[in-house]
Amino acid sequence: MREIDVASVTKAVKDLSISTNIYLGDDVKNALREALEKEESPLGREILQVILENHEISEREKMPICQDTGVAIVFLEVGQEVHFTGGAIEDAINEGVRQGYAEGYLRKSIVADPVLKRKNTTDNTPAIIYTRIVPGDKVSIQFAPKGGGAENMSEVRMMTAAQGIEGVKDFVVDRVSRSGGNPCPPIVVGVGIGGSFERCAMLAKEALFRTIGEPNPDPEFNEVEKELLRRINNLGIGPQGLGGRTTALAVHIKTVPCHIASMPVAVNIQCHVSRHGETII
Amino acid sequence: MKTVELRTPLDDDQISNLESGDKVFLSGEIYTGRDAAHKRLVKLIEEGKELPFDLKGAVIYYVGPAPSRPGQIMNSAGPTTSYRMDSFTPLMLENGLKGTIGKGPRSIEVRESMVKNKGVYFAAVGGAAAGIAFSVKQASVIAYEDLGPEAIRRLIVERMPLFVVNDTKGNDLFEAGVAEYRREE
Ligand code: SF4
What burial letters (b/e) apply to B39-67, b meaning 16+ CB within 10 Å?
ebbbeebeeeeebebebebbbbbbbbbbb
Burial class (CB in 10 A: 0-12, 13-18, 19+), A156: middle
| pLDDT over threshold 90, residue A123 | yes
Q: Which helix (H) or strand (E) holds A206?
A: helix A197-207
What does each of the 185 residues of chain B score in pLDDT, given as a tens digit?
Answer: 899 999 999 999 999 999 999 999 999 999 999 999 999 999 999 999 999 999 999 999 999 999 999 999 999 999 999 999 999 999 999 999 999 999 999 999 999 999 999 999 999 999 999 999 999 999 999 999 999 889 999 999 999 999 999 999 999 999 999 999 999 88
Mean pLDDT of A191-200: 98
User: A177-202 as b/e, with b when 16 or more CB fall inside 10 Å?
Assistant: bebbbbbbbbbbbbbbbbbeeeebbb
Task: Tell me if A234 and B183 make a contact (CB, 8 A cut-off).
Answer: yes
Give A254's pLDDT tier (boundaries 50, 70, 90): very high
The pLDDT of residue B42 is 95
Amino acid making up residue B113:
S
Give Cα B51 distance to the centre of its chain: 17
Contact in structure between A182 and B79 (CB atoms under 8 Å): no
Number of H helices, E strands in chain B: 6, 7
* Chain B CA closest to residue A109: B149
φ/ψ (deg, to 5) at A117: -90, -35
Any atom of ligand 1 within 6 Å of the Cβ of B78: yes
* Mean pLDDT taken over chain A: 97
| Residue of B24, B39, B125 to mutate for A, most A C-beta atoms under 10 A | B125
Residue whose CA lies nearest to ligand 1 atom number 8: B127
Nearest ligand 1 atom to alpha carbon B129? 8
Instruction: Give the structural domain span for B175.
Output: 3-181
Q: Name, in order, each residue with C-beta under 8 angstroms of B1's C-beta and a sequence gap of 6 or more.
A: B19, B21, B22, B23
Is the CB of residue A267 less than 8 Å from the CB of residue A134? no
Whether the CB-CB separation of A187 and A221 falls below 8 Å is answered with no
pLDDT at A15: 98
Contact of A204 with chain B, judged by CB distance below 8 Å, is answered with no
Helices (H) and strands (E) in chain A, counts: 8, 10
Q: Peptide bond before A257: cis, by omega within 30 degrees of 0?
A: no
Distance of CA A124 to the CA centre of its chain: 17
Closest CA to A272 of A61, A35, A19, A16: A35
Whether the per-residue pLDDT at A73 is higher than 90: the answer is: yes
pLDDT tens profile A16-65:
999 999 999 999 999 999 999 999 999 999 999 999 999 999 999 999 99
Nearest residue by C-alpha to atom 2 in ligand 1: A271
Q: Does A8 touch chain B (CB under 8 A)?
A: no
- How far is the C-alpha of B149 from the C-alpha of A118, rounded, in Å? 13
* DSSP state for residue A211 in the 8-state scheme: P
CATH for B110 = 3.20.130.10
Contact A72, A124 (CB under 8 A): yes
Collapsed DSSP state (helix, strand, coil) of residue B91: helix
pLDDT of the residue at A87: 97
Which member of A64, A149, A242 has the closest CB to residue B130? A64
Give the max Cα distance, chain B: 54
**pLDDT value of position B1:** 83
Residue B185's pLDDT is what? 82
Domain boundaries, chain A: 2-20+65-146, 149-274
Distance CA(A75)–CA(A141), nearest Å, equals: 6
Residue A56 backbone zone (phi > 0: left; psi -120 to 50: alpha; other: beta): alpha
Query: If you measure from the C-alpha of residue B172 to the centroid of ligand 1, how many angstroms do you get, rounded to a whole number?
Result: 22
Ligand 1 centroid–CA B53 distance in Å is: 28
pLDDT at residue A174, rounded to an integer: 98
Residue A126 has pLDDT above 90, yes or no: yes
**What is the largest distance, in Å, between two alpha-carbon atoms of chain A?**
59
pTM: 0.96
Residue A20 pLDDT:
98
For residue A214, which amino acid is it? E
Tell whether B177 lies on the interface with A, counting CB pairs under 8 A: yes
Count of domains forming chain B: 1
Nearest to B28 by CA among B128, B115, B120, B156: B156
